[in-house]
Amino acid sequence: MAPEHLEPDTNRGSFGALTIRAAAIGLFCVAGIAIAGCISAYMRYDLIGTGHLPRCALYPVVVILLMNFILRKLGKRTVARTEMLFIYCTILVMTGIPGQQFATYLYLGLAGPIYYATPQNQYADPANGFHTFISDWLVPSKDPNSPAIKWLFEGLPEGAGFTDIPWHLWVRPLLVWSPFCILIFVVTLCIVVLLRKQWVERERLLFPLAQVPLEITRGDDGPARPSIFRSKLMWIGFAIPVIVYIVNGINAYYPSFPRFNLYPTWTQGLFSEKPWNVLNSMGVNIYFGMIGIAYLLTAEVGFSFWFFFLFDRVQEMVMVTLGKPGHWQFRRNQHVGAFAALALFYAWVSRKHIADVIRKAFGRADDVDDSNEPLPYRVAFFGATGGFVLICAWCWLFGMSFIYPVVLFGWYFLSLVVITRIVAEAGLFVFWFGIGPQDFVLQTFGYANVSHQNITMLQMVGWNIQDSATNLMPQGLQGLKIAGEGRLNQRTVFGMMLAAVVLAVFACHVPSLWITYKTAVPNLGWWTRWAGYGIPNMIAGSYASDSHFKAGDVGEMGFGAAFMVFLLVMRQRFLWWPFHPLGYAANTSWTMFRYWFPIFAGWSIKVAVTWLGGVKLWRKLYPAAIGMIVGEAVILFTWLLIHFIHPIKGVLIIE
pLDDT band at 342 (very low <50, low <70, confident <90, very high): very high
The pLDDT of 117-126, averaged and rounded, is: 91
Give the chain's end-to-end CA distance (angstroms, integer).
30
The pLDDT of 446-463, averaged and rounded, is: 96
pLDDT at 11: 39
pLDDT band at 639 (very low <50, low <70, confident <90, very high): very high
pLDDT at 269: 65
pLDDT at residue 224 tops 80: no
- In 242-301, the DSSP E strands lie at none
What percent of the chain is helix, strand and coil (3-state, nearest 5)? Answer: 70, 0, 30
488 forms beta bridges with: 16
pLDDT at residue 6 tops 50: no
Q: How far apart are the C-alpha atoms of 356 and 365, rounded to whole Å?
A: 7
pLDDT band at 378 (very low <50, low <70, confident <90, very high): very high
Instruction: Considering only residues 297 and 16, tell me which one the structure prediction assigns the higher pLDDT.
Output: 297
pLDDT at 313: 85
With CA atoms as reference, report the closest residue to 591 among 211, 52, 104: 52
The pTM assigned to this predicted structure is 0.93
pLDDT at 650: 65
Q: How far apart are the C-alpha atoms of 401 and 454, rounded to whole Å?
A: 7
580 conformational bin, left if phi > 0, alpha if psi -120 to 50, beta if neither: beta
Residues sharing a CB contact under 8 Å with residue 432, sequence separation 6 or more, in sequence order: 467, 468, 469, 589, 590, 591
* Buried b / exposed e along 563-597 (16+ C-beta atoms within 10 A): bbbebbeebeeeeeeebbbbbbbbbbbebbebbbb
pLDDT at residue 596 tops 70: yes
310-336 tens-digit pLDDT: 998 888 888 888 877 667 788 889 999
Q: How far apart are the C-alpha atoms of 380 and 192, rounded to whole Å?
A: 9
Task: With H, G, I as helix, E, B as strand and everything else as coil, classify residue 616.
Answer: helix
pLDDT at residue 296 tops 70: yes
pLDDT at residue 614 tops 70: yes
43-52, 160-169, 495-504: range with lowest mean pLDDT: 43-52
522-575 tens-digit pLDDT: 999 888 888 899 999 999 999 999 999 999 999 999 999 999 999 999 999 998
pLDDT at residue 8 tops 50: no
Q: How far apart are the C-alpha atoms of 454 and 551, rounded to whole Å?
A: 24
Q: Which amino acid is residue 422, in one-letter code? A: I
The pLDDT of 476-488, averaged and rounded, is: 95
Q: Exposed (0-12), middle (13-18) or buried (19+): which is 240, by Cβ within 10 Å?
A: middle
CB 120 within 8 A of CB 159: no
The pLDDT of 335-348, averaged and rounded, is: 95
pLDDT at 12: 39
pLDDT at residue 344 tops 60: yes
Q: How far apart are the C-alpha atoms of 427 and 20, rounded to whole Å?
A: 32
356 conformational bin, left if phi > 0, alpha if psi -120 to 50, beta if neither: alpha
Task: With H, G, I as helix, E, B as strand and everything else as coil, classify residue 350.
Answer: coil
Mean model confidence pLDDT for the chain = 91
56-84 tens-digit pLDDT: 999 999 999 999 989 988 988 889 999 99
The pLDDT of 601-617, averaged and rounded, is: 96
CB 140 within 8 A of CB 111: yes
The pLDDT of 245-269, averaged and rounded, is: 85
The pLDDT of 273-285, averaged and rounded, is: 78
399-429 tens-digit pLDDT: 999 999 999 999 999 999 999 999 999 999 8
pLDDT at residue 1 tops 50: no
The pLDDT of 145-152, averaged and rounded, is: 96
With CA atoms as reference, report the closest residue to 388 among 361, 364, 408: 408
pLDDT at 5: 42
260-269, 362-371, 543-552, 599-608: range with lowest mean pLDDT: 260-269
187-220 tens-digit pLDDT: 999 999 999 999 999 999 999 999 999 999 987 6
pLDDT at 647: 85
pLDDT band at 434 (very low <50, low <70, confident <90, very high): confident
pLDDT at 651: 67
624-637 tens-digit pLDDT: 999 999 999 999 99
157-171 tens-digit pLDDT: 999 999 999 999 999
pLDDT at residue 652 tops 80: no
